[in-house]
Structure 1
Amino acid sequence: MKNVYVVRLGDLYYKERELSVTNTYRCTMTDSLNDASFSEDFDSAKKIAEKIGGKAYKINLEEAE
């Protein structure tokens, strides 16, 4: 079993940070946990969550047989 962290804001999950045409960064969000970005480091997930006003959540991943 492996612990990872995901950032959630309301019903959306953090996917990635991308550069826009105005040379500023914006966050891309998704409504699917399968498309969300996972982090193994809680501190980095927490920093992202603080920037976007969301929360970092721990998820336990299990291998399927």
Structure 2
Amino acid sequence: MKNVYVVKLGNLYFKEKEGILFGKYRYTMVDNLDDASFFKDFDYTKERAEEIGGKVYKINLEEVKD
């Protein structure tokens, strides 16, 4: 499986970016990796991390059999 990326700031993970008035944005952060947004594109993920001052982490997905 391909790798995906997540943005982390302290103990929180990036979930979404929402536009509000006057070109400003509101960022939703979560404390659980399961609720975080996962991205396939590293460059896009890096941009989100730079916006909030966080870091990009690679998540290795591994397929498991039931």
By the TM > 0.5 criterion, same fold?
Answer: yes
Deviations 1:17-44 (A, max 9, x none): 1234xx2321000000000001000000
SS at match of 1:2: coil
What secondary structure is seen at the aligned counterpart in 1 of 2:34?
helix
Q: How many residues align?
A: 63
Are 1:62 and 2:25 matched, yes or no?
no
Which structure has more strand as a fraction of its residues? 1
Q: How far apart, CA to CA, are the structure 1 residues paired with 2:10 and 2:31? A: 10
Instruction: Give the TM-score, by structure 1 length.
Output: 0.89
Instruction: Look up the SS of the partner of 1:61 in the other structure.
Output: coil
The runs of 5 or more residues in structure 1 that have no matched partner are none
Between structures 1 and 2, the one with greater helix share: 2
TM-score by length of 2: 0.88
Identity %: 65
Q: Where does the alignment leave 5 or more consecutive residues of structure 2 unmatched? A: none
Aligned residue type for 2:57: Y
